[in-house]
Amino acid sequence: MDHKTLEHLQHLDAAHHLHPFNDNAALAAKGTRILTRGEGCYVWDAEGHKLLDAFAGLWCVNIGYGRAELGDAAATQMRTLAYYNSFFQCTTEPTIRLAAEIAELTPGDLNHAFFTNSGSEANDTILRLVRHFWAVQDQPRKNIFIGRHDGYHGTTMAGASLGGMKGMHKQGGLPIPDIHHIDPPYPFGDAGDMDPEEYGLLAARRLEDKILELGPERVAAFIGEPIMGAIGVYIPPRSYWPEIERICRKYDVLLVADEVICGFGRTGEWFGSQYFGFQPDVMTIAKGITSGYIPLGAAIFNDRVAGVLAAQGGELAHGCTYSGHPVCAAVALENLRILRDERVVEHARVDIAPYLATRWAELGEHRLVGEARIAGLMGALELVPDKRRRGEYFPGRGKVGALCRDIALRHGLILRATYDAMLLSPPLVITRLQVDELFDKAWKALDECAQALGK
C-alpha cells in the first residue's frame, strides 16, 4: 500500500472507527496499524512488515491464515443459501451437521448446541438458560453464578459480570445482581512457597467456602476458563479442577467450562476440560471453532440440562437473528474437517507442544523473566525487576509489558502483553523452525527491553 493511501486510511479510521479495548484518542494520534494479508503463521501490515503472529490473531487462528478451503466453503454456501434462520421450526443443513459434529467432539454428554455470534453471547446464553433450568424445577432462587476475580467471559452485561475484571465492572455499573467471584488460581502471584498441588486444593476450596457463605440452595453454577487466558495465562495446578468438580457435584452446582480460548486444540487436547480431566455440565465455545475466519459462538448443554429445558422449559425465549447462521456453520465445518483430517491437534500435542515447552523454558532463563509457564500452545513470561525475588513487580504494572511487546513487534514478532506478562498463543500449525524463529525474536526483544530498563 502506498504511503498516501495508508495515511488517508489512518485518517478515516481516526475520524470514524472506535476500536475495542483501545485508548482511541491515543490511537488516533498515533495512527492505526493496518493488517493486509495472512499466510500460515505470518501476517503482513500495510507497510510491508512480515510478522510472526505468535498470538494467532486473538487466541483464535488455530489452523493458521490463508486456508482457501474456508473461503470456498463460505462462497458455496453464500451462493446457495446465504441466510436463513432457525426460529420458525426450521433450520439449514450446515447448522444441523455442525451441532452433531460438536456433540461428537465434546467430552461426555455435551450433546446440545445453542449457536450465537460470539463467546460473549454464548456466556449470556448460559446465564439465562441455566437460571431458567433451575426456575422450571421450582428453584427460582437457585440463580447465583460464581466466577473468578480476573476471569474473562466476554464484554456483554452478563459476560463482563461473569468475568471478574474490575476495570470492566467500573464501566457500566457491573456486575449485574447475583453474580459473585472468588480469587483465581494464580500460583506465580499467590502460592508463595506452597506445594503446587496443595495450593491447587486451597484455591479450589475457595469455591466451597463461597457456596456455604451464600447457601447451596442459592447457587446455580460455577463458571471458569480451564486456563485463564486474557488475565495472563493462569495455569492451575492439576489438583484444582477435579476438586472444583467434586465441590460442584457435592452441592448440585452446575459446572460451566468457558472454552472460548482453550477449546479446539489450544492446550494440545481438543478441550481444556480434557487437559485437566473434568466433565463440565455446560460449555461455551467460540474462536477456534472457525479459527477466527468468521464469527461463531455456542453454548453446549449436557443431556440433563437440555432434557429439563425441553421437557419443562416451554418455548425458549432466547435467540439471535444469526443463531446457527448457515455460512458461519459451513465455515466451521470446514475448519473442523481440517483440524481432524490433518490431525492438527494430535500433531500439536505430540510434536510441537513439547518442543515449544523446551524453548519457552529457555526464555525463562533470561534475566528479565521471573517465570516461563506453558500448557500445550498457550504460555506466559512474567517480566520482573529481580528474578530472585518472587512476587515483586515493576512499578506502574503493565508499562514494561507494553514496552517489550512494542520491541518484539519491531523484531517482527507479535506477542500479547497483559500487565508485565508476555502471552503466547500461536497457530496450532506452527512448525519447529518457526518456534526457533519465535525464540530468537523473543530473546532479542527481552535483551533490548532489559537494556532499555538499564538491566
Ligand X SMILES: Cc1ncc(COP(=O)(O)O)c(CNc2cccc(C(=O)O)c2)c1O
> Nearest distance from residue 3's CB to ligand X, in Å?
30
Is residue 58 part of the contact set for ligand X (CB under 6 A)? yes
- Binding flags for ligand X, 16-45, as an x/- string (CB under 6 A): -----x------------------------
The single residue listed with the C-alpha cell 525487576 is 385
Site residues for ligand X, 250-269, by CB under 6 A, read 258, 260-261
Which member of 57, 147, 154, 187 binds ligand X (CB under 6 A)?
154
Q: Using DSSP bridges, classify how beta strands 378-383 and 369-375 pair: parallel, antiparallel or unpaired.
A: antiparallel
Residues β-bridged to residue 2: none
Q: Which stretch binds ligand X (CB under 6 A): 39-47, 85-93, 117-125, 391-399?
A: 117-125
Pick from 95, 108, 123, 125: nearest CA to 302 = 108
What grid cell was written down for 40?
Answer: 500460515
Question: What is the footprint of ligand X within residues 278-297 (CB under 6 A)?
Answer: 286, 297
Binding-residue total with ligand X (CB under 6 A): 18
Q: What is the C-alpha separation between 175 and 379, in angstroms, rounded? A: 29
Q: Which residues lie closer than 8 Å to 373 by C-beta, 6 or more apart? A: 188, 233, 235, 379, 380, 382
Report how far residue 245's alpha carbon sits from residue 130's, in angstroms, rounded to the nearest whole number. Answer: 17
Q: Which is nearer to ligand X, 179 or 202 (CB)?
A: 179
Q: Does 118 bind ligand X (CB under 6 A)?
A: yes
Query: Alpha-carbon distance 400 to 144, whole Å?
Result: 38
Query: From CA 377, how far away is CA 229, in angstroms rounded?
Result: 12
Which residue in the set 174, 179, 230, 255 belongs to the binding site for ligand X (CB under 6 A)?
A: 230
Is residue 359 at the binding interface for ligand X, with CB under 6 A as the rule?
A: no
- The reply to whether 245 sits near ligand X by the rule CB under 6 A is no
Contact region with ligand X (CB under 6 A), list: 62-70, 112-120, 266-274, 433-441: 112-120
Burial bucket for residue 370 (CB in 10 Å: 0-12, 13-18, 19+): buried
- Dmax over CA atoms of the chain, in Å, equals 66
273 binds ligand X (CB under 6 A): no
Query: What number of H helices and E strands is found in the chain?
Result: 18, 15
Instruction: Find, among 375, 371, 382, 362, the residue nearest to 436 by Cα.
Output: 362
| Interface pick for ligand X out of 225, 245, 281, 382 (rule CB under 6 A) | 225
Q: How far is the CB of 52 from ligand X (least distance, A)?
A: 18
Among 38, 119, 376, 427, contact with ligand X (rule: CB under 6 A) = 119
Whichever of 38 and 297 has its CB closer to ligand X, that residue is: 297
Q: Which stretch binds ligand X (CB under 6 A): 76-84, 224-232, 377-385, 404-412?
A: 224-232
* Shortest Å distance, C-beta 164 to ligand X: 12
Q: Would you tell me the crossing angle of helices 93-105 and 326-341 to the nearest 10 degrees?
A: 40
CB of 191 to ligand X, least distance (A): 22
Nearer to ligand X, 286 or 348 (CB): 286
Give the nearer residue to ligand X in terms of CB position, either 224 or 313: 224
Q: Considering only CA atoms, which of 416, 405, 356 is closest in space to residue 230? A: 416
Q: Does 229 bind ligand X (CB under 6 A)?
A: yes
Looking at the Cβ atoms of 228 and 449, the one nearer to ligand X is 228
Nearer to ligand X, 86 or 123 (CB): 123
What string of DSSP letters covers 5-65? Answer: HHHHHHHHHHHH---TTS-HHHHHHH----EEEEEBTEEEETT--EEEETTHHHHT-TT-B
- Between 123 and 239, name the residue whose CB sits nearer to ligand X: 123
CA distances from residue 151 to 60, 258, 305 in whole angstroms, order as listed: 18, 10, 24
| Under rule CB under 6 A, residue 153 binds ligand X | yes
Q: Which residue is nearest to ligand X (CB)?
A: 119
In degrees to the nearest 10, what's the CA dihedral of 44, 362, 288, 343? Answer: 100
Sequence-ordered list of residues with C-beta below 8 angstroms from that of 300, at least 6 positions apart, any chain = 102, 106, 110, 111, 112, 113, 114, 282, 283, 284, 285
Q: How far is the CB of 287 from ligand X (least distance, A)?
A: 7
Taking the C-alpha atoms of residue 188 and residue 387, their distance in angstroms, rounded to an integer, is 12
Of residues 361 through 420, those in contact with ligand X by CB under 6 A are 416
- Give whichever of 6 and 241 is closer to ligand X, judged by the CB atom: 241
* 118 versus 208: smaller Cβ distance to ligand X: 118
Chain contacts with ligand X (rule: CB under 6 A): 21, 58, 118-120, 123, 152-154, 225, 229-230, 258, 260-261, 286, 297, 416
